[in-house]
Every structure is written in structure tokens, then in C-alpha cells.
Amino acid sequence: MTEKKKEKKTKAWSNKKQPRSLKEALEKKLSKKEKEKLITSFDSVGDIAVIQIHDDLQKKAKIIGEALLATNRQFKTVCMVSGEHKGLFRVQPVKIIAGKRSKKAMYKESGSQFLVELGKVFFSPRLSTERMRISQLIKENEVIGAFFAGVGPFPIVFTRLSGMKKAYAVELNPEAYKGLLHNIALNKCQNKIEPILGDVKKVVPKMLLGKCDRVVMPLPKGGESFLKEAMLALKPKGGIVHFYRFVDKETGAEEPLKEIGEAAEEVGMKTKVLRNKKVRSFSASKEQIVIDFLAKPKRLK
């Protein structure tokens, strides 16, 4: 669309009474049935809004996107989710439905900035409270294992909000690693974060054995197969692990607690759960939880 046409479109909205909500903006554009299927919540990643659109409303995606732009002037682009988080890299495909044709967002959190290219890397603003919570638990001069680092939100927020000495940020997706390098430079934390491109399974035995006071594991689907590596990365006196996991609401932490116990047994460690809490609801039957646990060699008291 040309700049002139875009201007005309924005004017058309601004000449009318400014709609206060997405529902109100779509009042005359969707049928009663369609309105019932409209999902009004969305994620904000900088100036990009990411919204889910019900299958039956796919033909109205552009109209919904434009209404979202009209009611939330901070956004320049609206993307719709076009598939599930996929594969090892947990990337969620998204499609631009309105506004500027760019999937690059500049996202701000806790005084740090992140360049995120949606559709190429995993990114979720929903764990910001967790990043703040863990920052407050980190003690002066701690060394952190930031596993599954993505474009760097955990270690970069830790640099800003805690007195940590250093974080090893391990990431397997080359695109996310590129973003991690960019964001480390953007936030001037080169002296605090060591980025490592590779698989946690291989990186830990090669370079992180016994190095960390604390390990964060934000891989809620599949993270359980890296529990041994997390414990092996802890210093000989032991340390703390933050383990994220999707669980059935009915059974809760039962399965992950078993997994922690089994992994600890295999590496000759004992564990003590410090905290076990829900992070967010994921679907009708599933939720994301985090278990903070202390792990130390069995021979130590």
C-alpha cells in the first residue's frame, strides 16, 4: 500500500469516533456469530501485535488486523499466529495481516532492549515476571548457566537487575544466536555474558562442568532431558536450578518431580525443592510451572 493510501485509511478511522476496543471497532464488520469467535487478547512485542485468529475468521484477518491498529496506536504491524511452536528451535510461524510489512520488533523489558525477528526465533514476553523474580534471587557474583537462551532475555535482564558475575548463554538455533549476539552488544553486556552456539548436551561436558551457581532452563517442552546437564553444570558445592515444564493441570508437578529425582540419582546428587509454582495457564488442560530446586553431591551435608 502506498503512503498516501495508508494515510487515507488512518484518517478514515480518525474521522469516525475512535473505537475504544477491538470488539467495538469490529461492531459493524463482523456478524454476531463471528464476534463470538473473536479472540480479543494479543501479545505485544514492541510495535508488533501478535494475535490468534479463529479458523472460521481467517477471511476476516485483514479487517481484524486493521481494527487492532486503529484501537492501539502504539502498533505499526499486526501479525497473526499461523501455526504451533515447531521443532527443536520452538519457532512459531506468524503472518503479517495489517500495517508495516516487517517482522522485526524492538522489544523493551526491565530497562533492556531486544531486537526480535518474529517467525525466525522463539520469543515470548510472557516470562518477564519470571526474569524479574529470578534476578531478585541471584546473589552478588553468582555465575549463571542460561540454557536455551534464545535472543537473550534471561541473561540480559539478569545483567541489568542482578549483581551476577557472569552468565554462559547457550543457544542452538543459529538465527537466535545471531539475535543473542546483537542484543548483548545493544545492551552493552559483552563483559558479563559469554554466548555459546551449540547443544546444551554437548556444551556442558565440553566447557561448563562445575562452573555455575545457578542454572535456568526455559525449555518447558523437552527440558526434562537436560536435567542431568543442569546439575552437572553446578559448582562442586552444589547450586540452584530453575526448571520450567508444561504439565497437565490434574497431575501438576508429580511427573517433573519424579524426573528431577531420577536425574539427580544418575549424577549422584540429592535435591531439595525450594519452590514449585504455576507460571501461566497454557490451555484448558495444561499449564506451565517452574520448580526451583537445590542440588548438591550426595556426599555433602
Distance between CA atoms of residues 53 and 84, nearest Å: 13
Candidates 173, 187, 271, 288; binder of ligand SAM (CB under 6 A) is 173
Q: Which amino acid is at 290?
A: V
Q: Residue 96 or residue 146: which is nearer to ligand SAM going by CB? A: 146
Whose CA is closest to 239, among 155, 159, 152, 143? 143
Site string for ligand SAM, 196-235 (x = CB under 6 A): ---xxx----------------xx----------------
Q: Minimum Å distance from CB 138 to ligand SAM? A: 16
Stretch that binds ligand SAM, among 3-11, 19-27, 92-100, 147-155 (CB under 6 A): 147-155
Closest CB 220 distance from ligand SAM, rounded Å: 7
Q: Which is nearer to ligand SAM, 196 or 295 (CB)?
A: 196
**Should residue 181 be labelled a site residue for ligand SAM when binding is judged by CB under 6 A?**
no
Separation of first and last alpha carbons in the chain? 68
DSSP-assigned letters across all residues of 221-271: TTGGGGHHHHHHTB-TT-EEEEEEEEEETTTTTHHHHHHHHHHHHHTTEEE
Candidate residues 60, 90, 214, 228; the one interacting with ligand SAM per rule CB under 6 A: 90
**Rg (alpha carbons) of the chain, rounded to whole number:** 22
x/- string (CB under 6 A) for ligand SAM, residues 46-85? ----------------------------------------
Indicate which single residue of 122, 168, 243, 293 sits in contact with ligand SAM (rule: CB under 6 A). Answer: 122
Strand partners, 45: 48
282 belongs to the binding site for ligand SAM (CB under 6 A)? no
Burial class (CB in 10 A: 0-12, 13-18, 19+), 39: middle
The distance of closest approach from Cβ of residue 129 to ligand SAM in the complex, given in angstroms and rounded to an integer, is 12
Q: Which three cell numbers stand for residue 163?
A: 549483581
User: Under the criterion CB under 6 A, does residue 195 sit at the interface with ligand SAM?
Assistant: no
C-alpha closest to that of 118 among 175, 38, 39, 53: 175
Site string for ligand SAM, 10-49 (x = CB under 6 A): ----------------------------------------
Catalog residues that contact ligand SAM under the rule CB under 6 A: 88-90, 122-124, 127, 148-150, 153-154, 170-173, 176, 199-201, 218-219
